[in-house]
Amino acid sequence: MIRFEDLLEKVRAYSPDADVELLRRAYVFSAFEHRGQVRHSGEPYLIHPLAVADFLADMKLDVVAIAAGLYARTFSRRSSKRIMGFGV
């Protein structure tokens, strides 16, 4: 399982000036939204967004794309309305 710190290290290796604070905020938000969720395997659901972000980092994409990977499956419920300002 990839750890967030491993992801940061990978991104910094090919993009030393990357906005890692953006990635940190995306990770914290995703972890908050997926708290308590588990996969059928019993692993925390957060491993999926981390794996997506890791795959994008392997492709050496920019931090905006990697942050989007960290948001994987996050904007499908109430959070998207709250984030986008629709306040339901």
In the chain, where the domains are located: 4-84
pLDDT at 73: 77
d(CA 68, CA 63): 8
d(CA 56, CA 54): 5
- Structural tokens at position 63: 């931090």
State which CATH number among 3.90.1170.40, 1.10.3210.10, 3.40.50.720, 1.10.287.3510 fits the domain covering 4-84.
Answer: 1.10.3210.10
The structure's pTM equals 0.82
pLDDT at 86: 42
Intervals of the chain under pLDDT 50 = 84-88
d(CA 88, CA 85): 9
Amino acid symbol at 74: T
pLDDT at 88: 35
